[in-house]
A and B are shown apart, each in its own frame.
Chain A
């Protein structure tokens, strides 16, 4: 591989992707200060680190909602009514893809394929698959999550 690739020998003991996942799980998102810490600890230039983080759709540099929904956009899901689910989520949560609700309860993303084509349409809710979705089941899921959050507040 190129010289540039091998400049960062530091990554050999610990795989950067795993480091980033752990940091994101701990802090909720990869803030500038978290990136600075990782940059210092592993001697990775911060511009490069930022470039790596931004390459992957599952890393976030902004605060995220309590629940992250990744709706699948694969052809199998599209053929099974996936697009109407996406539209339902957008209107129900009143956000666009890539946004977080004002109450910080939901962040909505679209993903290419989550490998649940056999149970389409599907989505990931906090990295766990929810499959054979219908608008009714989605509605119930969202309402449950809202209720849970409300109960916790009280």
Chain B
């Protein structure tokens, strides 16, 4: 796997040789995109951060992977942590930061002791005055969102903030702060060192009703059938959910998985986490579990998300209990669309996808509950 290639501090040495401008230009040229889900060009982010006037800058490695169905960052921290740490050091060098953080989600506490040792040894080996602190999350999905993460780091409630100001220009304690995901930083180190590094390769987290769940590497554009083959389902598959926020769609073996093809099905690739549900499931149940997730993890700051997610959940519960009717669907869609349009942050803006796509693609599953009445 490309993601497991070790860079052994050679990437950092090459970065030093290239100079700050050189390494940023290289990252831009390699076409590295953020792997947290938003796919923002990493080089552009680095450049903005570097070019913003400030006496202090920070790098934050976002290890608050919390999207249900996603476990690729855990995979990297377990299997190639040193390359990730090297990526942090390269980013710090590129933008001129001395203080770096790894925001490790509370649920990954069991990874921390080893990671701590590796950070220590890497810093020693790299002979650098850059510091890397591990910040321990405490159970809040929203803190993976960059503005909420910064609030959390600064000792506030981890609520999302309006942008601008963008953290890249005005982040931690008002200073330019670069927030990159674990996979992004690991890729950054690899992209710097390896000439044959392939930007189109993505980590897929596969889980659900399958026999071979795990992290796989596929290029963007991979055929669904190939992914399913690797996943090895026991029974016939019915639906795939792209994490929680990417939406739910029917299994289409012939589809090539690209942002564009998914968009046609009103879905979003996110962090390429695919949850498979087989024919024994009703998609409403899947949607209900996703609605519970959002109702629990909304930060509560903005009205549509705070009040809307719980109303969507209540409606889905009503339908699930057999008390619902067709009249509930327009209200569900109205709420889902409304939250997407008016919520403050990415969580709210995507929290209705599962409702909209499940109603679009699986009306018969809703009907099944209505006719139970």
| A17-B135 in contact (CB<8A) | yes
Bound state CA distance, A38 and B309, in angstroms? 34
Min CB distance A29 to B, Å, is: 13
Report chain B residues within 8 Å CB of A74: 68-69, 289, 293
Within 8 A of A (CB), among B226-243: 241
We find that the number of chain B residues with CB closer than 8 angstroms to chain A is 64
Q: Knowing A2-B161, A75-B289, A117-B68, say if A17 contacts B137 (CB, 8 Å).
A: yes
In the complex, whether A113 has a CB less than 8 A from a CB of chain B is: yes
A76 contacts partner chain B, Cβ-Cβ < 8 Å: yes
* Min distance, Cβ B278 to any Cβ of chain A, angstroms: 8
Q: What 0/1 pattern do residues 53 to 97 of B give for CB contact below 8 A with A?
A: 000000000000111111101100000000000000000000000
Asked if B156 CB lies within 8 Å of chain A CBs, one says yes
Q: When the two chains form their complex, are residues B136 and A117 in contact, meaning their CB atoms are under 8 A apart?
A: no
B209 nearest CB neighbor, chain A only: A79
**Of A88-96, A100-108, A121-129, A137-145, the one with at least 4 CB within 8 A of chain B:** A121-129
Contact A73 to B156, CB < 8 A, known contacts A56-B139, A115-B70:
no
Pairwise interchain contact B71-A117, C-beta atoms closer than 8 A: yes
Q: Is the CB of A114 within 8 A of B140?
A: no
Does A75 contact B137, Cβ atoms closer than 8 Å?
no
* Residues 1 to 48 of chain A near chain B (Cβ within 8 Å): 1-2, 5-6, 8-12, 15-18, 20-21, 42, 44, 48
Say yes or no: A6 contacts B67, CB within 8 Å. Answer: no
Among B147-169, those with CB < 8 Å from A are: 150-159, 161, 165
Bound complex: CA of A124 vs CA of B106, how far in Å? 11
A135 CB-CB contact with B under 8 Å: no
- Measured between C-beta atoms, what is the minimum distance from B299 to chain A in Å? 8
Residues of B within 8 A of A52 (CB): 155-157
Residue tally, chain A, CB below 8 Å to B:
47
**A116 neighbours in B (Cβ, 8 Å):** 71
A112 and B296 in contact, given A74-B69, A124-B107 (Cβ under 8 angstroms): yes
Smallest Cβ distance from B178 to chain A, in angstroms?
16
B250 at the interface (CB under 8 A from A): no
Least distance between B286 CB and chain A CB atoms (Å):
6
Are A79 and B208 within 8 A (Cβ)? yes
Tell me, in angstroms, the Cα distance from A117 to B286 when the chains sit together: 15
Query: Which of B165, B173, B290 lies at the interface centre, i.e. has the most chain A CB atoms within 10 A of its CB?
Result: B173
B138, B170, B206, B208: which contacts A57 (Cβ < 8 A)? Answer: B138
Given A1-B170, A120-B207, A75:B138 Cβ within 8 A: no
B279 contacts the other chain (CB 8 A): no
With a cutoff of 8 Å between Cβ atoms, the chain B residues found around residue A113 in the complex are: 66-70, 107, 141, 293
Question: What would 7 A/B residue contacts be, using CB atoms closer than 8 Å?
Answer: A5-B161, A16-B155, A21-B138, A52-B156, A74-B293, A75-B241, A118-B71
CB-CB nearest 8 A-B residue pairs = A16-B155, A56-B138, A11-B155, A117-B207, A57-B139, A74-B68, A58-B139, A113-B68
